[in-house]
Amino acid sequence: MKTEVAIIGGGPSGLLLSQLLNKAGVATVVLERASRDHVLSRIRAGVLEAGTVQMLHEAGVADRMDKEGLRHEGCYLSDDDLMVRINFKELTGTTVMVYGQTEVTSDLYHAQDAIGATIIHCIEDVVIHDADSDAPYVEYTVDGARRRLDCAYVAGCDGFHGVSRKTIPTDKRREFERVYPFGWLGVLSRTRPAHEELIYANSSNGFALASMRSETLSRYYVQVPLTDTVEEWSDERFWTTLKSCLPSEVAATMQTGQSIEKSIAPLRSFVSEPLRWGRLFLVGDAAHIVPPTGAKGLNLAVSDVHYLYQALIDAVKKGDTAGIDTYSERALLRIWKAMRFSWQMTTMLHQFDGEDSFAAQMRKSTLQHLSQSETARRDLAENYIGLPY
């Protein structure tokens, strides 16, 4: 088989890139390890920056999001009973969209089906060959048979555990990493959200986040030790812990119920530089991971696609390589700023095992400062709604 851009990974970054390239008449083949049902069952991000919303419009996949997504003009940060509202609308003139990653991915699959794009699921043993030559190709196994896909470019959109990043020789790249000593236990429940806006809660019992997917579907997270397993967390234990972290007026009126999904995710900050090796480009989680506290993971994957897709169109259609030659530098500038914000939000809101008494005071004082300084709130809002591309 032959195509212009081989895309490894059919998560949000691979599908969005494929959709934008197909719309411009550039041929793609998406190779995805999992089944479509499996990809759509992974509950992950929930907050879309204005830039992400714009990109989904550009890709022609925004109709359902515009109807069903929840536009949020602000969010809260809390410290025990102190609640600080960050008014995005007033401070930055814009809003964010609460719309789940599973819905974004589902909309992209439907759009790709509608334009007859090629997405091959349940493939195994992807190997990227000759990425540093003018004639790269990808080999993979599907239904027991080994196949070859020749292409002009390869987009590595296969997440943190994919093969694309590892294809780049270790002496050609540099990794930067911080692993946090805790994870997030996430729960989805068919209950009314605890509050009409998201609450990022610091408390003497640790961090919690109250989020949502709709007026009847809630998404919550609490900070847990990395050694914990989902089996150790009954629904009852989860609700008790969550309530002990949220402001008491919110906890008092909160609706609880049976969980419909429960999972634990570790927290890490990670960047692999550069994002390009020859004709291979890394996109999204394949190149970088942020702790979820700033809601940046999915949004960064979309901003990488923003920098790459027009560059690939120019290279394929006009032989103009100026865009692909600067992709890595342009994308990394924004990636590092989101890294900084996510690290800062994580440090400001979580308890670290073995920390000294000073650390908790620093968190309290940061929240106090936010409550009193519009400048501090504006800085947070500007980063949260997404820095300009």
* Shortest Å distance, C-beta 66 to ligand FAD: 21
Query: Active site residue: 180, 193, 292, 327, which one?
Result: 292
Q: Looking at beta carbons only, is 247 or 292 nearer to ligand FAD?
A: 292
CA distances 77 to 88, 345, 375, Å, are: 13, 10, 15
3-class secondary structure, 156: strand
Here's the x/- map for ligand FAD, 22-41, by CB under 6 A: it reads as ---------xxxx----x--
Here's the x/- map for ligand FAD, 85-104, by CB under 6 A: it reads as ----------------x---
Decide: is 193 part of the binding site for ligand FAD (CB under 6 A): no
384 is catalytic: yes
Site size with ligand FAD, rule: CB under 6 A = 31
* Shortest Å distance, C-beta 292 to ligand FAD: 4
Binding interface with ligand DHB (CB under 6 A): 45-47, 198, 209, 211, 219, 292-293, 295
E strands within 60-111?
70-72, 74-79, 82-87, 96-98
Are 154 and 164 a contacting pair, CB within 8 Å? yes
Decide: is 275 part of the binding site for ligand FAD (CB under 6 A): no
3-class secondary structure, 266: strand
Decide: is 206 part of the binding site for ligand FAD (CB under 6 A): no
Tokens of 68: 């069903």
72 is catalytic: yes
Decide: is 4 part of the binding site for ligand FAD (CB under 6 A): no
Q: Looking at beta carbons only, is 167 or 346 nearer to ligand DHB?
A: 346
Alpha carbon 330 to chain centroid distance? 19
What residues numbered 295-334 form the site for ligand FAD, per CB under 6 A? Answer: 295-298, 301
Tokens of 72: 């949020």
Q: Looking at beta carbons only, is 164 or 293 nearer to ligand DHB?
A: 293
306 is catalytic: no
Burial class (CB in 10 A: 0-12, 13-18, 19+), 248: exposed
Decide: is 385 part of the binding site for ligand FAD (CB under 6 A): no
Are 179 and 268 a contacting pair, CB within 8 Å? yes
CA distances 44 to 27, 48, 388, Å, are: 29, 12, 24
- Which positions are catalytic? 72, 200, 292, 296, 384
